[in-house]
Structure 1
Amino acid sequence: MRGILVERFGGPEVLVPADLPEPVPGPGQLLVEVSAAGVNYADTHRTDGSYRDAPRLPFVPGTEVVGRTPDGRRVLALTFGGGGYAERAVVDEADTVDVPDQVDDATALSLLVQGLTAWHVLRSSARLLPGETVLIGAASGGVGSIAIRLARHLGAGRIVAGGFTPEKRELALTLGAHVAVSNNPMGYAERVREATAGRGADVILESTGGAALTASIDALAPFGRLVSYGNASREGRPPIDAGVLSARNLSVAGFWLRPALDLPGFFREPLTELFALVASGELSLPPGPAYPLADAHRAHEDLLARRTTGKATLHPAASSV
């Protein structure tokens, strides 16, 4: 079968199409004919070796797929050990969920890593309350675009979107944000306070790290909660002064989806809720870019250059151009 093989750590150029052995499922596993694979920012960290749980070389990237089992089930699955960037993948049955007919492949993949992250960051970590103000720092991305819709569903009083370009800020407004501001760390806190009548945000979702994380803490309202769930800047997470937090009764939390999914009720239950919201029309997601499987390198290039909005997906049946 065809797939993407990484034989050395590096940038998008190391994502090379290759002929791979057919995967063979073991006990408690399923073989999935992949119709689409999700592309996540974390995949770029795995590819360059900077991920906190770096894979061993050589490896096939990709931690989420949607497709059919040999008995015809249409399933969405996590592939924690990789293997998703391929025509077929082996998945643990415990890490799969059946996909309703009303949910297309791209939407299903959006709801897996990005949807579950948005759901847990807002509900499990930040514990968003009705009427509160939410700042979503990367609002046009995969997690951010879903978080805007979910925050509205959960009763947020005001949603402030952060965006790198005017186009991304405009997209966030069309998704349901009340106001959008530049997320350039210089002056970020001041722009957020201006957008919130001087008060700041009750909840901040932060995925950039570095200077953006420091600026976001300054943008919190009293008793505000910031959840850090990524490090797109690759600057690292700066030290946090506990005195600064206690002076305004602030909280800073971290979130990583992988260990959260091992907890009872943290996988199928929220996914089932998200599927139901999509099926009812209450949650609609913007389309993201779709690439042929052989163009995985281009998908990573676009992610790293911040050219994408929504969920990026790879399609084994599509031809490269």
Structure 2
Amino acid sequence: MIHPADFTPAWWLPGAHLQTLVPNLLPRRGVALRRERLEMPDGDFLDLDWGPQREGPLVLLLHGLEGSSRSPYAAGLMRRLAQAGCQGLVMHFRGCSGEPNRLPRAYSAGETGDIAHVVDHLRRRAPDRPLALIGVSLGGNALLRWLGDHATSPRVDAAIGISVPFDLHRAADRMERGLSRIYQWHLVRQLRRSVLRKCRRLDMPLDCREIARLRDFRSFDDAVTAPLAGYRDVDDYYTRASCRPWLRGIRVPTLILHARNDPFMTPDVIPGADELSDSVRLEVAEGGGHVGFMDSRGRSWLERRCVAWLGERFGYRFDPT
């Protein structure tokens, strides 16, 4: 189902770029976090940051590209979840928790194995507790890609995807145009820095001398992401990792929040109703930018909508202010 989102952008933040930049540059008041290190079967590790102890549903947050529990959107969501009585936690993708991971492999938009491992870990710890996942941007793509794969049979009660790229080919093309190149420059610079840091610690199956010359997502993903994640090349990666073809297979009640003016992609990446399963509710706002959605009172509509929908699913009340 596709519905118009009940969101009106702040009048003093007109356009896609201000809605994207301001909410994600302003500091958000977070919560105290407790770190748990989860050792992986392949000898690597994942770091989980747990919010304050609460008795409500478990809510696992998957961050976006080069994000972490320190990202403003993550801090805001974790605080809002704690206020609503939910037990929030952030799963850091490999290498994103502030310490390089032990293996050459990192993470990608199609990495679903680590999500499944963490969900299994949480289910063993609390088998009867309601569990929801929230995926932001790249994390949202990986989440929806995983939920749509029937072979995985995810043991999840609800899910939310935020500002999901849907089609990685088109998203990469969009980042080559206009002011969106600024976001690309910033993120690729962070990615290069992360890989070069690992090159100094590990024997990487890459030509580390070429990393500094990579300037856009397509060249970086072709030289680094695709080979490390087991894809043939960047086109193979973008095709197989994009979540759009998998949306029909989702059986978990899922909310997707998206802005038509998201500067990380073009409006034509938004799937049609015939591409969604009956379990998916897609809410599209005309404005809101990328992981922005700030209203005229300076509040995050995104946070309120996520918690309100989880409250509907799990039957708890929260303070919407």
Structure having the higher Rg: 1
- The higher relative CO (CA closer than 8 Å, separation ≥ 6) is in 2
Q: TM-score scaled by structure 2?
A: 0.34
Give the number of the structure whose residues are more often helix, by fraction.
2
TM-score, with structure 1 as normaliser: 0.34
> Hey, which of these two has a bigger chunk of strand by percent?
1
